[in-house]
Structure 1
Amino acid sequence: MANVLIADDSVEMSSILSEYIKKEGYNVLVAADGREALDIFSKNELDMVFLDVTMPVLNGYDVCREIRKTSNVPVIMITSHGDDYEKIMGLGIGADDYIVKPCSPNEVVARMRALLRRIYFEHSGNDNKTQFRYDNLIIDMDNFRVCIDEKQVPLTKKELEILWTLADNRDKVFTRENLLNSLWGYDYYGDCRTVDSHIKRLRAKLDEYPHDKWNIKTVWGMGYKFEVAENNES
């Protein structure tokens, strides 16, 4: 049975959500603070994580950052504040969706279903293509792995999705708006700086490994593309 983690210091909120999510056929694990959430995460295979932003010990942002160091599990942040800044911050550190309290359990379940459908669709296209290879780079979407020279690169889910999108459309220029619309996939309250920050972190991780025959290139005034050596004039 698939596992869902609900991390929220509100016993009432956790209890209500648990009952609704269990009806969807999931086993529910509950944490009352951020440290307990990370402990459960480290000991279980999870299929979805709900994180309250204002948890004691470690807040939801800190927990999300720790999760994204090793896992691409879908994460939905839940908060009592609807400020754009908080949404931008949550999505920028790797959350997949953002729900503002008060919210109905039915809405939460609907957002969970939509996110899981979107992730499944993104990684199972009609041609069943789930792996990209070029030179020393392998992107394996079935296992959420990126390897360079057979060494795994620790990418977050969004970093991996950006790399896949660019690499699988070699030499096609994607604007920041293209990437926001295709990879976030819902009403996004942030701006294009989110894409830039993800690209910056992605490049920093890739640059720790040799890749002189391919690169993520900035096309000034337009966006980004995956460029290979034979098309690189420099």
Structure 2
Amino acid sequence: MGATVLVVEDDKEIRELLRRYLERAGYGVVTTSSGAEAVRLLGEQAVDLALLDLGLPDVGGDEVLREARDRGGVPVVVLTARSTVEDRIHGLRLGADDYVTKPFSPTEVVLRVGAVLNRARGAGADAVTPVSYGGGRLRIDEARHQVVLDGAPVELTPTEWGLLTTLASVPGRVYSRYELVNRVRGYEFAGYERTVDSHVKNLRHKLGGAGPAVVETVLGVGYRLGWTRDL
């Protein structure tokens, strides 16, 4: 299971839609329609990110956002129908990490969640423990930006690094080319999705004979990490 996302949204249809998309992307999901319940969950559960509707019926979203900031700086992506520049600035000043205006694409929300989590992990890179896969054969050290395969270092370009770490974040989970483009290069990237294939080819080449097993192709869908994470 990937990171845990707390969805705080009083509209049941939107709440369940986000839950389905996030779970499909490999995240653990906790949901609530109540601001008071959200504050309680932030204090009792290990939450990696909160998706927060500011227009809650009980405790205001602003208060929940401040609580998330006080609870160890849990990243927050705000969901709101308020679309003015002033409203966005207000949310960001309160500590929101990103801001999505309704109506929105649930796929975009999932991508923004991934981007915020990646930034949060990067900010705390010194505390990240190296992770190994495939019985210790592959080792990824995000703090030192190093990849080691069968005891030998592997030099990767930033794009190849982004592809590998994205796939390794949820081993076995299939990522489409579109998702990989957005996660690795960001929303501003306007290149064709098939460029991912060239980067995957180069990444596999650098991984040698293990390349096709580490980065598996799922025909008609995309790519996944073929090796499981070691406990």
Normalised by the length of structure 2, the TM-score is 0.52
Aligned AA (1:8): E
Query: Where do 1:91-106 residues align within 5 Å?
Result: 91-106=92-107
Aligned AA (1:72): G
Aligned AA (1:65): R
| 1:38 and 2:39 are equivalent in the alignment | yes
Q: Deviations over 1:187-228 (max 9, x none)?
A: 9xxxxxxxxxxxxxxxxxxxxxxxxxxxxxxxxxxxxxxxxx
CA contact (8 A) 2:68 2:76 kept: no
Q: Give the whole-Å Cα distance in 2 for the aligned partners of 1:56 and 1:77.
A: 16
Q: Give the whole-Å Cα distance in 2 for the aligned partners of 1:13 and 1:119.
A: 25
CA contact (8 A) 2:68 2:75 kept: no
Partner of 2:82: 81
Partner of 1:9: 10
* SS in structure 1 at match of 2:117: helix
CA contact (8 A) 1:77 1:99 kept: yes
Q: 1:47 to 1:129 in 2, by over 3 A?
A: closer
Q: 1:123 to 1:39 in 2, by over 3 A?
A: closer
Report how far residue 70 of structure 1 moved.
2.6
Counting helix residues as a fraction of each chain, which structure ranks higher? 2
Q: Give the whole-Å Cα distance in 2 for the aligned partners of 1:35 and 1:186.
A: 33
Partner of 1:58: 59
* SS in structure 1 at match of 2:99: strand
Normalised by the length of structure 1, the TM-score is 0.52
Q: Give the whole-Å Cα distance in 1 for the aligned partners of 2:187 and 2:127.
A: 24
Q: Deviations over 1:140-168 (max 9, x none)?
A: xx9xxxxxxxxxxxxxxxxxxxxxxxxxx
* SS in structure 2 at match of 1:12: helix
Q: Give the whole-Å Cα distance in 2 for the aligned partners of 1:63 and 1:87.
A: 16
* SS in structure 1 at match of 2:95: coil
Partner of 1:109: 110
Q: Give the whole-Å Cα distance in 2 for the aligned partners of 1:94 and 1:102.
A: 22
Q: Deviations over 1:91-129 (max 9, x none)?
A: 1111111000000100100111111222223333xxx59
| Long gaps (5+) in structure 1 | 131-141, 143-184, 188-234
CA contact (8 A) 1:8 1:32 kept: yes
Q: 1:122 to 1:16 in 2, by over 3 A?
A: same
Sequence identity of aligned pairs in percent?
37
* SS in structure 1 at match of 2:5: strand
CA contact (8 A) 1:3 1:46 kept: yes
